[in-house]
Structure 1
Amino acid sequence: MAGWKDGSVQEKYRLVVVGGGGVGKSALTIQFIQSYFVTDYDPTIEDSYTKQCVIDERAARLDILDTAGQEEFGAMREQYMRTGEGFLLVFSVTDRGSFEEIYKFQRQILRVKDRDEFPMILVGNKADLEQQRQVSPTDCRDMNPLASAKIRMNVDQAFHEMVRVIRKFQEQECPPSPEPTRKEKDKSGCHCVIV
């Protein structure tokens, strides 16, 4: 945390982008950071980015880790899962398997964090490829609009919503006025939305 000039502390968030190989994690991240669409698929091992932005009139620094989707890099997962404060679980609407694989990532994050819930949002990418869609609108009926890194649709919204979920989670974890005894945490599961 930095900055006390006006009495406020700069908010800093460590976001982790996870999901299967080829779902567009890097394309979403680079589109958010640089407003540029990456056309070549080059499997990521691990890349990190930083972006300063204002979300709901509050300045924030986002440290974003773009992770490997390939199974051969699975051993690296537990390390970033330990340090992440919020997770964007990315799947491709053109790949049913990537949608089903998301639950594996969700369970692993909760296990590593030893929590019943943790800040996560579900991001359905490649919404511009409607003709190749394998994840039906019924699967996504209770969720926000889908994203497309290619046409920059709902990209900023996904990252901003992740920060909102983290803020809400942190406020619940550390309420301004501490209670004499801590209540049992809510066991409702993670907050997952498609943006």
Structure 2
Amino acid sequence: MGGRTAAQPSLLRIVVVGGGGVGKSAITIQFIQRFFVQDYDPTIEDSYTKQCFVDEDMCKLEILDTAGQEEFSTMREQYLRTGNGFLIVFAVTDRNSFEEVKKLHELICRIKDRDDFPILLVGNKADLENERHVARHEAEELARSLAVPYFECSAKLRRNVDEAFYEIVRLVRKFMHDERMPNGTTTTDERRIESPAKLKKKKNCRIQ
């Protein structure tokens, strides 16, 4: 008797956004490759793929690590259109990056044309407690006002990194279920937008 053929895991696109220097690349690479990278070229938009189990269900993630600099914002908007879920990252040691969160949240909601899209707020560099400029209760209050979950992470110590990505997968799955969309499908508008990998290839893998 032949066993049941396992279904191919759905592809979910997770976009990581935030100001420059907050540790977006460090979080992403820690999740994908399980090591801490301290120095990373801030002008690079890069994407990674990873298969993992979340709540016993296999999923395939395409994670886009976006550049944080303002001059790359036009390209970032193109990437945001393709995302199924978003991590908005700030550094608890950087007040300016925290104050940028609302603007990024508004940008995502405008591009997606709705205010209930799967978004997770992440406070990185939580290991630098003595250098903290954003109190945890402030971040939690902001997350409540935006109606999004909040995680504090340390890419350096790998604290809550996997948990943050797993939680955004759960939010995306719930959103797709509530929208009665089969896993792995996208809206009509999103199908007209090329994938981040194709966009990046067209830009020769680096934004000049």
Q: Please tell me the TM-score bracket, short chain as reference.
A: 0.7 to 0.9
Map of 1:162 onto structure 2: 168
The Cα shift of 1:100 comes to 1.2
Aligned residues: CA RMSD: 1.7
Q: How far apart, CA to CA, are the structure 1 residues paired with 2:140 and 2:83?
A: 28
Map Cα deviations across residues 104-155 of structure 1 (whole Å, 9 max, x no partner): 1110111111112211000100000000000112213466551000010000
1:81 has 2:69 as partner: no
- Measure, in 1, the Cα distance between the counterparts of 2:46 and 2:84: 17
Q: Per-residue CA shift, 1:45-87, capped at 9, x if unaligned?
A: 2000000100000000000000010011111121011100000
Higher helix share: 2
Contact 1:19/1:89 (<8 A) preserved = yes
Contact 1:86 1:119 in 2 (8 A): yes
Write out per-residue CA displacement over residues 4-27 of structure 1, whole angstroms, 9 at most, x where no aligned residue: x63634221000000000000000
Deviations 1:22-44 (Å, cap 9, x if unpaired)? Answer: 00000000000001101214214
**What CA distance in whole angstroms lies between the structure 2 residues aligned with 1:109 and 1:12?**
20
TM-score, length of structure 2 as denominator length: 0.78
1:53 paired residue number: 52
Structure 2: segments with no counterpart, 5+ residues: 142-148, 183-208
Quick check: 8-17 or 130-139, which moved more? 8-17
- Measure the CA separation in 2 of the matches of 1:64 and 1:138: 28
- Which of 140, 147, 156 does residue 153 from structure 2 map onto? 147
Question: What is the rounded CA distance, in whole Å, between the counterparts of 2:134 and 2:87 in structure 1?
Answer: 18
3-state secondary structure, aligned to 2:117? coil
Report the counterpart of residue 41 of structure 2 in structure 1: 42
Unaligned ranges ≥5, structure 1: 177-195
What residue is the counterpart of 1:188 in the other structure?
none
More deviation, 21-30/134-143? 134-143
Q: TM-score, normalised by structure 1?
A: 0.83
Structure 1 residue matching 2:41: 3-state secondary structure: coil
State how far apart, in whole Å, the 1-side matches of 2:181 and 2:76 are: 30
Provide the rounded CA distance (Å) in 2 between the counterparts of 1:7 and 1:60: 12
Aligned to 2:67: 68
Total equivalences in the alignment: 172
Worse-superposed segment, 134-143 or 107-116: 134-143
CA distance in 2, matches of 1:175, 1:48: 24
Please give the alpha-carbon distance, in whole angstroms, between the structure 1 residues aligned to 2:100 and 2:150: 20
Match of 2:97 in 1: 98
